[in-house]
Each structure stands twice: as C-alpha cells, then as structure tokens.
A and B are shown apart, each in its own frame.
Chain A
Amino acid sequence: MTATTHDTHDAHHHGPPPGFFKRWLFTTNHKDLGVLYMVFGLLMFFIGGAMAMVIRAELFQPGLNLVDPHFFNQMTTMHALVMIFGAVMPAFTGLANWLIPVQIGAPDMALPRINNWAFWLLPAGFVLLLATLFLPGGAPAGGWTMYPPLVLQLGDSFPFLILAVHILGISSIMGSINIVATILNMRAPGMTLMKMPMFVWAWLITAFLIVAVMPVLAGAVTMLLTDQYFGTSFFSAAGGGDPVMFQHIFWFFGHPEVYILILPAFGIVSAIIPTFARKPLFGYSSMVYATASIAFLSFIVWGHHMFTVGMPLAGQLFFMYATMLVAVPTGVKIFNWMATMWQGSMTFETPMLFSIAFVLLFTIGGLSGVMLALAPVDLQYHDTYFVVAHFHYVLVTGAVFSIMAAVYFWLPKWTGHMYDEKLGKWHFWLSTISVNVLFFPQHFLGLAGMPRRIPDYAVQFAEFNMISSIGGFVFGLAQLLFVYIIVKCVRGGQKASSGVWEGAKGLEWTLPSPAPYHTFETPPAVK
C-alpha cells in the first residue's frame, strides 16, 4: 500500500488507513461506507432469500410438509423485514454513499461520522431482530406490518422487534439527513439542482421521504410497546382506541416507504438507459417533476392498503382516485425511458439488460397496482397472492433488478476491472426467466382466491405453486452466480478505462478506475 510510505498526515489524503479493523470499523470515507452498506445489503439479501426458500419449499406441495405453521409465519414476517430494512434500503444507501459525492463533485458526504454511525446501527438492529429466532416463542410471526392485536400475542420476540425497528429507523433517518445535507450543500460550483444526475435527484426526494415517515413508524411501534407493557389503549377499543388506527399510522409510513424502495431505482435506470442508448435522458426536467409528484402523492394514498377494514365511502373514493393518480407521473417516467431508447444506437451489456427488464417488469407490477387501487375489486384481491405477485414485481424485478443493474454498471468504476460479461448475461437471463416463473403464476393464484401468508392451501392451487417454487429455487441459485461474478471482478479482470462505457456521461466517469480513495478534494468546475 503506497499510503504507508507517506507520513500519517498525508496518508489521510491518499489512501485508507493501514489495518483491516481500523479501516473498516472507524472509516468516515464515503466509498468505504458505501462498500460496507452494499456488502451488508448483499448478506441480508441471502439471509432473507434463505427464508424465502423455506417459504417456497413449504408451498411446493399442498399439505404441511417441512416446517410447522408457526415457523412458516416467522419466515414470512422475517423475510419481509430483512429484505426491506436489511437488503434493499442498505443497498440503495450504499449506492448513494458511493455515488452521490462523485456525481456532484464533493470531497465526501456532508456528515462523515454520522455516516459511519448510521451504517453500524444496521448490524446493531439486525443482531436484535435475528436473535429473536432463538428466543422462546421464536421470531416475530404476525406479519411485517405488525398489526395489533395479533402482534401483541408474540412471545418474547415482541419488544426486540419494536426496538430493532427503532434502531433501524434511526439508522435510516441519520443516513438520509446526511444525504440531504450532502446534496443541498456539497455540490461543485456550477452543479445547479437541475443539472444533477437523476440518481441524485431521486435520492434527494427519497431521503426527504425517509426523514418524514420513519419517525411516524417509530411513533406507531412505540404505541404498540406501551399498549403491551404500560397499559395504554391506543389500539384497544375497550379503552376508546382502535386497532384500525394502527393501520392508518403504519400505512402513513408504509406507503411512502414503498416509494423509498423504488425511487432510487428510477434514478439508477435513468443513468443506465441513456448510457447504452447513447442519447441524453429524454425529458430530464419532467423526470424530476414526476419523481417529486410521486413523492407528494405517496403521502395521501395510504388508505388503499385498508379498503377491506372498513372505511367511509368518501374515504374509499378519495384513496382510490389519489392512488390511480400515481400512475400518471409513473407513466411519464416509463414513457421517458422508452423515448430515450427510441432510435438510440443501443447495445445490450448486462446493466442495460437489467434496466430494460426493469422497465418492462416494473410496468407489469405498476399495472397490477392500478388494479389493486380499485376499491371494489380490491375487496376480492386483498390479502391474496395477487398482492404478493404485485409487490414482488415492483420490489424484485423493480428495486432488486435496479440494484443489480447498478452493481454491473458501476462495478468497473469501483474495482478498476471489468466484470465477466458472459457470466453477467447468464446471470441476467437465469434471473429474468426464473423470476417470472416464480411470480407470474402468483397472479393467477391470487385471482383464483389463494390467500397470502398460509403454509397450506387447497389442492386446486397445487400446479401453479409448484411452478412458482421451481422458479424460486432457480432464482435463488442464480444469485450465487451474482456473488461469484462480483468476487471475480474484485479480484481481477480486464482493466477498466476511466470512462468504462462508451456512452457514459457524468463526473464519476472523469475519475480513474478504480476511483482514488479521496476524490474531488478541490471541487471540479461544472459547465
């Protein structure tokens, strides 16, 4: 390591401090923390994925085959919590950490020590959450939405669930405050707001959503805790409260949360498609306004998660129409991505393949979302596998595919090596085919009436469940290939140029590959 030849003062400005633990535990460097976030996200992706494998194995055939129903419920609950708070959000935050400073020409994030703390709170939260698997009564099993009164009937895991959510929430809030401060305060001269890359815009809006709604979740779960242990009656009708009130507060958080899980994906795809279409992004400013509109609408649509619990007609109509309005800005985005590709000189490297699959498959998830927004038909679809199919299309082929696209797209910049394109394409096709085998039949299962979150089902659902499970196993195995490709790329491979991709535009592509430990210590001039 060249840094060791300099004195300590200079070493700070050239490379990481020597020593594995000193570097990774104490780091305030945005690139190191970005890597930590992403590695953590990948680890959790496999822990949550293993839980999904248990679910699909149990559902492979009708009957109670492998695990007892209570453990099955623990798996569905923990799968959701791990994937949302452990895999997707940290992976996006990792991308934000690595990319935002180099995309806006900043020397680092605005609050580097807060950045370190926000990351290390994640393992803290997950130690608490995953430890519940070994407690009497097992892990939380009442669904990730934590509805009372069911959630109050958990065993010893209940307080740990609540406190883990608190810690993960603090982590997200701190990480997001840092991102907002970085974007608003650290841009290089000339980098006006409307010149920022779409990924930065998407994260600015996402971070705002996180700061706005994570505290509301904290409030909701605190009320659960005091209802359980301190005698309050927020969610008990006997005391004048209402269990449905929890659902209102939870989904006031929960609906913005699902956009927290997808807006960064929009930013990623808006970076990749122009690169491989070799055209500028079509309708940049409309993309910005559409993202902001989606964020605004996310605050006034929460009731569509609750059509079946009972709601005044006016409420149902309001939430139905407001929800369908979301399709308008989302449609603007999908149109813009297609218009960007239109007559472009396109090539189909792995990041582009994942991005095109994102546009197509996310749209399927979006359209099933419009179906679910219709209050009268939602009474039929609610809590069926149709809902499961819907949100896995937007979260797996949406959020997760965009993360994979981003990893392939920026990996050469991070490691200095090209990944194995042939294996990347194998990973793409295996994932894309298997994920559709996995989730597409679930639409039919749901429309035919199969409820979600059950370990056993009526025999007429057997074929589609078996097909779905086979898709699930293949998708799970295909992700091992993803890890192999990443490890191979980190270890070596064809040297990447600074531009990496022929059509790549933006400040990060002016840096050498791999990017030095500290970049843009003197702000670049942006024309």
Chain B
Amino acid sequence: MSSHSKDAYFVPEDSRWPVFGIPGIVLLAAGFGVFLNGGSSGMPMMVIGGIITLIMAVMWFRDVIIEDVTGKYNAQVDVSFRQGMAWFIFAEVMFFAAFFGALFYARVFSIPWLSGGDPATSEFLWDSVSLSWPTAGPGFLDLDFTPMGAWALPTINTTILLTSGVTLTIAHHAMKHNDRTKVILGLAATVLLGSIFMGVQMYEYVYAYQELNLRMDTGIYGSTFFMLTGFHGVHVFLGVITLLVILLRVMRGHFTAERHFGFEAAAWYWHFVDVVWLGLFIFVYVI
C-alpha cells in the first residue's frame, strides 16, 4: 500500500528463527536439569540444545544484518534498537546488583551477626566465634585459604580492560570520521585486550584453586568471589564475540560514519562490562 515510503516503520515479515530456537532452549535447560540430577543424557541434550540455540542466534542476526545493509531501517527503527539495547543493559545491571547485594549483605550483616553481633542467634549457632572478612564462614574455620590479593593480576587486568575501553573509543571516533583502517585496528586491539583479560582471569582461577586453596565452596568469600568474577567473565566473553562480529562487519564494509548502531550497541555493552569490572575491582579485590 502507501506504506513503502522512507518514513514507514519497518515491520518485519513473519520470522521462523525465534520459534526455531525454542526447542533448543528447552533442550538446553532440560538437559542441564538432567545433568544436575546426575542423568547421563543431560550432556547430549545440552549440546544439541546449544547448537539449535546458536543457529537461531546466527540466523536471526543474519536477517537483521541483511535488512540493515539493504537500508530497511529508518531513523525511528534505529531508536527502537537503541531503546532495546539500553534497557537490556539496565536489566544486566540489575542482575549484577543481586550478586553485589549478596556480597554487601554478607559483609555488613551476616558475618558480624554470626560473630556475636546478634547474640540471640550466634549463641545457638557458633558461640563466640570471631569472623572477619575474608572468611569461609563459622562452619569452615579450619579451612586454610588465602584470599585473592588486589595488586598483582587483578590490577593488571584492570589496566587491560580500561585500555580496551580506550581503544574501543578510538575506533568509535575513527568510525565517525570514516577512517576504516583505524576502526579495524582499534576494534582488533579491543578484541585482543578482551581476550588477554579472559586469559589472565583463567590463570587467576587456576592459581586460586591450586595455590591459594580458594574455591567456589570456600564459604561466602569463595561464593561471592567466583560468582561475581565468573558472571563478569561470561559477559566479557559475550562482549568479545560481539566485538569480533562487528570487526568482521567493518571489514566487509558495513556501517557508515552516520549510521552504525550495531557498532555502538557492542560498544555500550563493552563499557558496561568495563564499569562492572571497576565495581568488582573495588569491592571484591581491594576493599
């Protein structure tokens, strides 16, 4: 009808990819459940489910990229994507907030209460124990572990991640000036730094398990340490993958100096991962 003018909002044709991925997600989740319950079919279910989910993601993004490159998106669609990404990042922030909340609660409330700050409780649980952060808790007093220090690897990692934010910003400015070579170099540097960060983080985990006797089950300290840094690490991984895809797209000649929201969305995500790390560095490692 009359809706093919440039002003019309792009409403996609029906798409098979969202539904295609649903059995994959069911298999992935059910397989994980079976695995946790000790069933042997859990792992294969997860693998098949994961592959289906991955195909969904790839094919779905493929459609979006084709639509983007063929100029189907007007400025209003661009705003929808911006809104979607911004609120998604907000949701991610709230996910991390739950784990930071657990960390603060343990340090401000539960540890002092167990150490006699709440005599009515501590007297009946572990009478007259004295705990101070970092601790594995009153039930694991004989567990000997060393907390992760802040000044060796984590500081290096902080520098790496902050530098990656700078290289990404350099790439972004280059994108605005349509300097492709600089964009590619900046993005490649960011991907490289992100990968180094993950490598250092993995080394740190091995070090924690082998040298420091610091594990997931090292009480509340080990729990908060590994869950916060672990989920952050997963997000770094996703961010690196995203930036890698954007890098390949830039090399293919996608995006323009004016319109490159795919790039910006990945950059927003990367900066979010960066900021979460700063929170982690301060509250998990330093303080």
Chain A residues engaging chain B, CB cutoff 8 angstroms: 10, 12-14, 17, 22-23, 25-29, 106-108, 110-114, 116-117, 120-121, 123-124, 127-128, 131, 156, 159-160, 163-164, 166-167, 173, 176-178, 180-182, 184-186, 211-216, 218-220, 222-223, 225-234, 236-242, 245, 248-249, 252, 310, 518, 521-522
Contacts and interface: CB of A to CB of B under 8 A. Distances in A.
B87 A28 contact: no
Contacts of A252: 101
19 contacts: A26-B15, A28-B15, A110-B84, A111-B80, A113-B60, A114-B84, A117-B18, A120-B18, A120-B19, A159-B32, A159-B36, A184-B83, A215-B91, A216-B97, A218-B95, A238-B139, A240-B137, A521-B3, A522-B8
Contact of A186 (B80, B139, B222): B80
Nearest to A136: B37
B166 interface: no
Interface stretch (B102-110, B155-163, B189-197, B255-263): B102-110
Given A223-B102, A231-B215, A163 B33 contact: yes
B106 A241 contact: yes
Nearest to B140: A239
Contacts of A107: 3, 8-9, 11
B221 interface: yes
B12 interface: yes
Interface stretch (B21-29, B179-187, B269-277): B21-29
Contacts of A110: 80, 83-84
Nearest to B99: A219
Nearest to B87: A177
B88 A177 contact: yes
A249 B9 contact: no
A522 B3 contact: yes
Contacts of A218: 95, 98
Leading 4 A-B pairs by shortest Cβ distance: A219-B98, A238-B139, A231-B217, A240-B137
Contact of A128 (B33, B101, B221, B224): B33
A185 B216 contact: no
Given A128-B29, A181-B84, A186-B80, A28 B12 contact: yes
A173 B136 contact: no
B contact face: mostly helix, strand, loop, or mixed: helix
Chain A interface, >50% SS class: helix
A249 B102 contact: yes
Interface centre among A106, A156, A164 (most CB of B within 10 A): A156
Contact of A108 (B11, B26, B135, B221): B11
A177 B105 contact: no
B220 interface: yes
A242 B109 contact: yes
B177 to A, nearest CB: 28
Interface in B242-262: none
Contacts, number: 237
Nearest to A183: B83
A8 to B, nearest CB: 9
B231 to A, nearest CB: 8
Nearest to B215: A231
Contacts of A222: 227
Given A108-B9, A113-B60, A245 B102 contact: yes
Contact of B216 (A106, A117, A124, A232): A232
A237 B22 contact: no
A371 B113 CA distance: 31
A241 B11 contact: no
Nearest to A518: B11
Nearest to A219: B98
Given A110-B84, A124-B22, A128-B26, A242 B95 contact: no
Contacts of B79: 185
Contacts of A128: 26, 29-30, 33
A160 B27 CA distance: 12
Nearest to A123: B22
B120 to A, nearest CB: 8
B94 interface: yes
Contacts of A240: 106, 110-111, 114, 131, 135-138, 219-221
Contacts of A232: 216-217, 222-223, 226-227
Contacts of B84: 110-111, 114, 177-178, 181
B142 interface: no
B137 A226 contact: no
A35 B103 CA distance: 43
B90 A212 contact: yes
Nearest to A223: B102
B94 A212 contact: yes
A215 B87 contact: no
B14 A22 contact: yes
A316 B49 CA distance: 47
A233 B219 contact: yes
A231 B216 contact: yes
Given A128-B26, A212-B90, 5 more contacts: A26-B19, A185-B83, A212-B91, A233-B220, A237-B114
A163 B105 CA distance: 25
Given A181-B87, A237-B110, A116 B19 contact: yes
Contacts of B144: none
Given A223-B227, A248-B105, A233 B137 contact: yes
A121 B25 contact: yes
B219 A216 contact: no
Interface centre among A108, A113, A184 (most CB of B within 10 A): A113
B2 interface: yes
Given A23-B14, A116-B19, A240-B110, A159 B97 contact: no
A13 B4 CA distance: 10
Nearest to B30: A128
Nearest to A108: B11
Contacts of B131: 240
B92 interface: yes
Contact of B137 (A14, A241, A248): A241
Given A181-B83, A522-B3, A17 B26 contact: no
A228 B217 CA distance: 11
A28 B98 contact: no
B102 A214 contact: no
